Amino acid sequence: MGATHPQYSECFPDGLVTGSCTDMIPQHGVNSQLQPAPYSVTTNPVIFKKGDSITVTIQGNSNSFTGFLLQARFVDGTGPLGSFTVPTVFTGLAQTLKCNGISNSAVSHTKKTAKSSIQVTWTAPTTDSLNNIQFSATFVRSYGTYWVGVKGPTVTYNETSAPANGVTTPNNGISSIGCGTSKVCFSQPANCDPSVTSPCYFMSAVAKSGDTAVQVEMTGISNGYIAIGFSDDQTMGNDDIYICGLGSNGQLQIQHAYSTGRSSPSILSLGNVSNVITSLSNGVISCSFTTLNPISTQRSIGSNCPYYLMLVYGSTSNENIQIHTKTFVSSSTANISSPGLVSTESFPPIVKAHGSLMLIAWMTTGNLGMIIAKYLKGMAKGEKCAGKDVWFVAHMSLMILTVAATSIAFILIFADVRDWSGGAHPVLGCIVMILALIQPTAAIFRCGPTDKWRFIFNWSHALNALLIKVLAVAAIFTGLILLDNTDNQWLVKVMGGFVGWEALLYILLEARRWWKHKDTTNDGSISTRVELLLLGVFFLGNLCFLVALLIGIGSQ
């Protein structure tokens, strides 16, 4: 980068380019590239005070670079400030320079080998009058191809370096400012501001320069990646996707992908993506970038078409994304060339019907059927219905309804989803379905009441019922976690109260049965009336919890 030497790559492979400290322009006899640079500058944190240290990473998004020059400057400033140190791991690739009489005020390469990323530490001055700064870099790919003035995010000077109200602000510079007026925004919870609220899953997009460039932001808590998708519908498949995730080197990277179905998306060439800014702070992953790649789905191309917006997050393994932990989908389409707000998708009716049927089956009808079989065999003693004891007819009818509701719920969800996304929930649901079908099948072929082997059926029938109940409750909890888009997961909490109410009834009924065995003078009719009273009170409470959860499911 010598100001008087035209052969930068050849004459300064050692990176001693102090002659380019002021304008950061290598004198190659050719102009710098005008299209967006395939390189980025990121910082952590983005707030500093005097003497603070900031980690600065320069990296190629899809291309390596052979030479570079990095400085910190005041926003719109012309001279370097502060001092850099190079970690031991990068000493063979990077070195500090004395620019404008300030030692260690810039960093450059040491050799002409291809590099994908460099990470250094910058320390703020302790005596100067400080203000907001930006890190600026020149990247050289080859002698005739280089980019000047690739800037990182604005790093805010704040002598306290502490966010207001004790809230940790994600290190990303992403906020809801401009939502609805200058950019399209989509978030969960609705209308949250990621600069002040955590957790807040947020994305924004806005078309620039007449449908040729799209500026994108995304942020959210994740242990691996967050991703956004542009889709023709509200289901996975045929979606244009951008992923912000951890690479094998522990650094965040942007990937472009396309989803052709319900399997892992196909990773594409990153293409024409520039101005990449990434940060990872306190578990919050954030990325912003500008893309000139046209948005392309099965039926639409371009940023002036309406798309449903998707925002997902999940874990990564060896740089590969895993099945998403949770998905947020907009309830309506958005045209990103027309600023606006979109809200989270109301879950499809089939999903709500599935959840409602499973809830009714295993928290109400199944419950009552099992309670009657266990505690109320004395109900209407001697009375027959279709030649069977009344308690047995009631038990059988309720359990047939339970198995039928479970089967319908199972068919509905697998006909709609057709995959195993959702973690443990679909696995638990399948086991419940199988065991629920075994229960009546075994009952059909049971031996007679007086058979000497009847006890085997009785025990296995009871144990299988208990296992189904436990797994069904676990499946409902995991399903509500996936379904509940509220901040405090109130559906899950109500479900916890529901289970507690049921447990209380079982405790009271067990206590009542124990007392009956002790009291030899107990009147059977009075005992049955007490048990029926308990069952009636339980049913009223059960109905209250059930209605609350059904309303909650319907509102998602």
Give the H or E element holding residue 285. Answer: strand 284-291
User: Considering only 92-96, 271-275, 462-466, which range has the smallest mean pLDDT?
Assistant: 271-275
pLDDT at 464 exceeding the cut of 80: yes
What are the helix (H) ranges across 319-453? Answer: 349-360, 366-375, 390-416, 424-444
Q: Mean of the per-residue pLDDT values for the chain?
A: 81
Q: State the Cα–Cα distance between residues 220 and 231, nearest whole angstrom.
A: 20
Q: What is the pLDDT of residues 361-377, one digit of tens each?
A: 999 998 888 888 887 77
Q: What is the pLDDT of residues 290-323, one digit of tens each?
A: 888 888 887 677 767 888 899 998 888 777 788 8
Q: What is the pLDDT of residues 466-521, one digit of tens each?
A: 999 999 999 998 888 877 755 567 888 899 999 999 899 888 888 877 777 766 55
Cα atoms in the 13 Å half-sphere on the side-chain side of 176:
20
**CA end-to-end span of the chain:** 58
Q: What integer pLDDT is reported at residue 7 of this predicted model?
A: 37
What type of residue is 311? Answer: L
Cis peptide before 199 (omega within 30 of 0): yes
Domain 349-555, CATH among 1.20.120, 3.30.160, 1.10.12, 1.20.1330: 1.20.120
Q: State the Cα–Cα distance between residues 199 and 326, nearest whole angstrom.
A: 13
More confident residue, 190 or 21: 21
Q: Which residues partner with 135 through β-bridges?
A: 72
Name the segment(s) of the chain with CATH classification 2.60.40.4060.
8-157
Query: What is the share, in percent, of the chain residues with pLDDT greater than 90?
Result: 20
**Average of per-residue pLDDT across 87-92:** 83
Nearest to 436 by CA among 321, 358, 323: 358
pTM over 0.75: no
Q: Say if CB 295 and CB 452 are below 8 A apart.
A: no
Q: Say if CB 272 and CB 250 are below 8 A apart.
A: no
Q: Say if CB 150 and CB 40 are below 8 A apart.
A: yes
pLDDT at 197 exceeding the cut of 50: yes
Q: Say if CB 93 and CB 85 are below 8 A apart.
A: no
pLDDT at 419 exceeding the cut of 70: no
- Mean pLDDT comparison of 41-45, 134-138, 343-347, 348-352, highest-scoring range: 134-138
Q: What integer pLDDT is reported at residue 343 of this predicted model?
A: 62
**Average of per-residue pLDDT across 54-62:** 81
More confident residue, 349 or 14: 349
Q: State the Cα–Cα distance between residues 496 and 503, nearest whole angstrom.
A: 11
Name the segment(s) of the chain with CATH classification 1.20.120.
349-555
Q: What integer pLDDT is reported at residue 345 of this predicted model?
A: 52
Name the segment(s) of the chain with CATH classification 2.60.40.1210.
167-342
Class of domain 8-157: mainly beta
pLDDT at 115 exceeding the cut of 50: yes
Q: State the Cα–Cα distance between residues 479 and 362, nearest whole angstrom.
A: 13
Q: What integer pLDDT is reported at residue 87 of this predicted model?
A: 87
**248 to each of 43, 65, 287, 314, 320, how far by Cα in Å?**
19, 19, 17, 16, 9
* Residue reference for tokens 């940060």: 279
pLDDT at 383 exceeding the cut of 60: yes
Q: What integer pLDDT is reported at residue 401 of this predicted model?
A: 93
Q: What is the pLDDT of residues 233-268, one digit of tens each?
A: 877 778 899 999 887 767 888 999 998 766 778 888
- Mean pLDDT comparison of 7-21, 47-61, 91-105, highest-scoring range: 91-105
Q: What integer pLDDT is reported at residue 469 of this predicted model?
A: 92
**315 to each of 132, 224, 259, 485, how far by Cα in Å?**
34, 4, 18, 20
Question: Could you give phi then psi for residue 431, rounded to 5 degrees?
Answer: -65, -45
Q: What integer pLDDT is reported at residue 137 of this predicted model?
A: 92
- Topology of domain 167-342, per CATH? Immunoglobulin-like (2.60.40)
Q: What is the pLDDT of residues 14-24, one digit of tens each?
A: 556 777 788 88
pLDDT band at 3 (very low <50, low <70, confident <90, very high): very low
Give the H or E element holding residue 49. Answer: none
Q: What integer pLDDT is reported at residue 413 of this predicted model?
A: 85
pLDDT at 522 exceeding the cut of 80: no
Q: State the Cα–Cα distance between residues 345 and 2, nearest whole angstrom.
A: 56
Number of neighbouring beta carbons within 10 Å of residue 387: 6
